[in-house]
Amino acid sequence: MRILLVVALALLSFARAVFAQELDPDPNRIFVTPLKWKSAADESPDKSANGTLAILYSEGVYAEVTAAFVKKVGSQQIDLNLNDGSVVRLGTWNRIEDSDLIRVESRELSRSPEGETKLGRPLTARTCRLERPSSTHIADTIVCQGLVVNHAQKAIGLGGFPSRVRQLVAAQNKAAGSTP
């Protein structure tokens, strides 16, 4: 019986590792706060804005980042800039009995100047309302306590955020697997 349990735990650990490698964001599941553009500080014609981007992965992973966004002159794409400091929240999301509500459980991950990620922040739960639900992109707007994000209408360059999410999910899964 113990051998069967050890094999099951090993398979679960392997599945978590594979799951973390397969997370790819679907553009229909990317949401962003309204961005207020201003001229970039370095006298370039580019515009910048601070905002929050949220991704609801189909696998149930929730990833949120508050960071700077850049809009280059002549480009339709908006780019996420993770180099000027960012705050990341990572967790899970799922629909609850009312199809117009989702539950998000996440924690803020702090990042030290040396690049070390701290996973010890408390888990918080929010119930969010879906405004104008859609079968294509979940909803036009997601309203949570303290956060309102709209479905991204333009392409957003994610600047390495998905790979960071995969690394963080793998680190959380590894930490969860090593705790007794």
Assigned domain for 153 exists: yes
Assigned domain for 30 exists: yes
- Domain count across the chain: 1
User: How far does CA 178 lie from the centroid of its chain?
Assistant: 24
Separation between Cα atoms, residue 109 and residue 164, nearest integer Å: 12
Assigned domain for 170 exists: no
The boundaries of the domain holding residue 139 are 26-159
Select from 50, 45, 95, 97 the least CA-distant residue to 74.
45
Q: Identify the three-state secondary structure at position 77.
A: coil
Assigned domain for 99 exists: yes
Assigned domain for 3 exists: no
Assigned domain for 143 exists: yes
Q: Identify the three-state secondary structure at position 57.
A: coil
List the structure tokens of 110. 């702090």
Q: Identify the three-state secondary structure at position 73.
A: coil
Strand partners, 129: 101, 143
Assigned domain for 169 exists: no
Q: 48 phi and psi, to 5 degrees? A: -135, 160
DSSP string for residues in 111-180: E-TTSPEE--SPPEEEEEEEEEEETTTEEEEEEETTEEEEE--S-EE-TTHHHHHHHHHHHHHHHHHH--
pTM, rounded to two decimals: 0.80
pLDDT, tens digit only, all 180 positions of the chain? 545 433 344 444 444 434 444 789 999 999 999 999 998 777 788 899 999 999 999 999 999 999 999 998 888 899 999 887 788 999 999 999 767 999 999 998 866 545 556 656 788 999 999 999 888 888 999 999 999 999 998 889 998 999 989 998 888 888 877 544
Assigned domain for 101 exists: yes
Q: What confidence score (pLDDT) does residue 44 get? A: 80
